[in-house]
């Protein structure tokens, strides 16, 4: 029987699963696997990031944009600990990924040796599966199991390899069963649940749809559902793009990062068709008396965020199709008409700033920059979005269409996500355009990955929106906790010079024309580019406050052209309380601001 070193056998499992690259940073405890990477460089590409956290974030983001598991590694001790942020991003966003973690040789474990600690308990909270190889022969078996567990349980699987096992020779007789990994095939809805759903839709006066990432692949059904039953479509933030942004009845997401319309209409709904959505902030949305038809493939999600009248444990696409086929077409409701008119007003207001190049402070608003991105990004571009105000601007201003894809750190919301995700996108889809969009706060955390882009000549457009503040947190301190600004001001920095020092073409811009020229230049060149956009220090419109009857609020956000939703509610006859069976009583008070959890609502 032919022999193979343990680390080589482990990498061969990856290759047999169709995995052709791995993100990581070398360490002494990982020497045996680095040797295997060198010997197998014709089969698997090594993407050497500049920080293990970036490798883990890249692996987490890979599934979000490709549907394939990403793989990273870290050495014993510090390298292992640095993986944590990316692993938790994968855990929170239910993202399959695999992390290979080195350990010191077996003879040096449990004796307080250099860089050694008991790694397996450390990872138990974050991992869906974590094991350390106890024999050299187990390495390929456990590698195969880690991949299967990551896919099956939708999260990070972690395999710990002692250094000496990686060098040891074993029999080359393990063969994976990757062909047994088939596409997910979720159940059809029951006939009774479809009938109950159709009945509620027929009776509803103000129905709407609220969908999440679980509706991925059901975009056409969502649009047909909306057209037939005259329901506005709202989504979670990370479900943006499932329905193209220009679809008239799609009002965007709900919450702090959302456009105004979703927040305007959600409390008026008397029926919510809740599709594959587990946004934690949705506990604050919708009238508590509204009826709910919830479609999900995970029984644990049913009823988690709102009381449910018709639970459907079934595939989103199949369930929507069944209801469409069984139901009768409805006329436009007052809420539907008001939502579309409210959206038109909101879009016109945003468009009014598209050519507003320079503000009094010599800086540019976000709208002109996103207008250029919308006009120049290819139909299959991939966007890697960091965390902060850039989430708000991307959610409101980016018009996704075609085969464009994007990813962000959703539920975990870790700053610094943008550049590692762009590295993953450029590695996975080298022939597609990649845009990395970050605020100066998030960019400062992971800007060293420009070195990775330059080293591998990745065609990435890195846009840094510099406003010299942690804007998302500043708005929380001003609008929610009403405290003096503390710890949010950032020093002014010349990010173009920083990028040039990392061998990346860079330019600083203060207006739309300069940014457009930079994009045109990037499209003609190879490799990465950075554009430092000197962004106005004005905050994005607050949908949490949304007090258009307050002249000071209107003045602060230059919102003179915006109409409050009460205008459209009165115009189209939207009832103050349409929830089924509810009386015309005073609305329940809004919940107090969350000042204890530290959570950022997006």
Catalytic positions: 52, 114-115, 256, 387, 472-473, 476
Kindly give the pairing relationship between strand 382-385 and strand 405-407: parallel
Instruction: List Cα–Cα distances, 201 to 331, 362, 464, in angstroms.
Output: 12, 52, 45
**The tokens of 510 are what?**
């203060």
Q: What angle do CA 255, 258, 259 make, to 5 degrees?
A: 130
66 contacts: CB under 8 Å, gap ≥ 6: 428, 429
Q: How far is CA 102 from the centre of its chain?
A: 29
Query: Please, are residues 447 and 479 in contact by the beta-carbon 8 Å criterion?
Result: no
> Helix/strand/coil (H, E, C) string of 387-455?
CCHHHHHHHHHCCCCCCCEEECCCCCCCCCCHHHHHHHHHHHCCCCCEEEEEEHHHHHHHHHHHHHHHH
Query: Please, are residues 440 and 491 in contact by the beta-carbon 8 Å criterion?
Result: no
Secondary structure of residue 53 in the 3-state scheme = helix
Query: Please, are residues 509 and 364 in contact by the beta-carbon 8 Å criterion?
Result: yes
Neighbours of 535 (CB within 10 A): 25
Neighbours of 143 (CB within 10 A): 28
**The tokens of 12 are what?**
């061969």
**The tokens of 516 are what?**
């457009």
Strand residues in 428-547 grouped as ranges (E):
434-439, 460-466, 505-509, 529-534
CA distance linking residue 398 with residue 403, whole number of Å: 14
């Amino acid at each position: 029987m032919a022999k193979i070193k343990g680390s080589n056998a482990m990498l061969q499992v990856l290759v047999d699963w169709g995995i052709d690259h791995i993100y990581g940073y070398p360490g002494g405890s990982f020497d045996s696997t680095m040797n295997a990477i060198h010997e197998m460089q014709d089969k698997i590409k090594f993407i050497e990031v500049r920080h293990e956290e970036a490798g883990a974030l890249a692996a987490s983001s890979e599934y979000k944009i490709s549907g394939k598991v990403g793989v990273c590694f870290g050495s014993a001790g510090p390298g292992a600990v640095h993986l944590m942020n990316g692993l938790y991003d994968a855990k929170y966003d239910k993202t399959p990924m695999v992390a290979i973690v080195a350990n010191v040789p077996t003879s040096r474990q449990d004796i307080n040796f250099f860089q050694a600690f008991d790694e397996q308990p450390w990872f138990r909270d974050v991992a869906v599966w974590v094991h350390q190889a106890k024999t050299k022969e187990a390495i390929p078996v456990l590698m195969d199991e880690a991949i299967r567990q990551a896919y099956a349980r939708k999260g990070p699987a972690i395999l710990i390899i002692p250094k000496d096992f990686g060098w040891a020779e074993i029999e080359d007789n393990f063969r994976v069963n990757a062909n047994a990994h088939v596409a997910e095939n979720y159940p059809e809805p029951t006939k009774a649940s479809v009938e109950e759903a159709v009945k509620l839709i027929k009776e509803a006066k103000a129905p709407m749809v609220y969908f999440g990432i679980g509706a991925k692949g059901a975009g056409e059904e969502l649009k047909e559902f909306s057209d037939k039953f005259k329901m506005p479509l709202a989504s979670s933030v990370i479900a943006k793009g499932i329905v193209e942004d220009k679809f008239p009845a799609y009002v965007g997401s709900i919450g702090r990062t959302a456009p105004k319309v979703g927040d305007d209409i959600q409390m008026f709904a008397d029926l919510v068709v809740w599709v594959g959505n587990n946004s934690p902030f949705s506990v604050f949305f919708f009238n508590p008396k509204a009826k709910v038809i919830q479609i999900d493939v995970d029984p644990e999600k049913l009823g988690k965020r709102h009381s449910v009248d018709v639970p459907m444990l079934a595939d989103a696409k199949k369930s929507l199709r069944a209801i469409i086929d069984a139901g009768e077409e409805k006329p436009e409701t007052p809420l539907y008409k008001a939502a579309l008119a409210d959206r038109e007003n909101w879009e016109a207001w945003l468009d009014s700033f598209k050519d507003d190049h320079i503000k009094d402070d010599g800086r540019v608003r976000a709208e002109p920059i996103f207008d250029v991105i919308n006009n120049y990004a290819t139909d299959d571009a991939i966007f890697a979005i960091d965390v902060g105000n850039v989430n708000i601007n991307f959610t409101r201003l980016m018009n996704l269409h075609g085969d464009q894809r994007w990813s962000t750190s959703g539920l975990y919301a870790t700053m610094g996500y943008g550049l590692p995700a762009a590295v993953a996108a450029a590695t996975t889809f080298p022939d597609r355009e990649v845009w990395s969009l970050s605020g100066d706060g998030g960019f400062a955390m992971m800007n060293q990955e420009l070195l990775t882009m330059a080293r591998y000549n990745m065609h990435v457009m890195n846009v840094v929106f510099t406003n010299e503040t942690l804007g998302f947190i500043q708005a929380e301190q001003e609008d929610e906790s009403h405290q003096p600004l503390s710890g949010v001001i950032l020093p002014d920095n010349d990010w173009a010079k920083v990028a040039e020092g990392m061998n990346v073409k860079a330019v600083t811009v203060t207006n739309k024309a300069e940014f457009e020229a930079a994009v045109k230049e990037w499209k003609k060149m190879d490799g990465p580019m950075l554009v430092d956009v000197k962004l106005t220090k004005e905050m994005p419109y607050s949908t949490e406050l949304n007090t258009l009857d307050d002249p000071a609020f209107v003045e602060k956000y230059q919102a003179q052209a915006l109409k409050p939703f009460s205008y459209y509610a009165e115009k189209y006859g939207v009832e103050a309380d349409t929830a089924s069976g509810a009386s015309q009583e005073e609305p329940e008070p809004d919940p107090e601001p969350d000042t204890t959890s530290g959570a950022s609502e997006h």
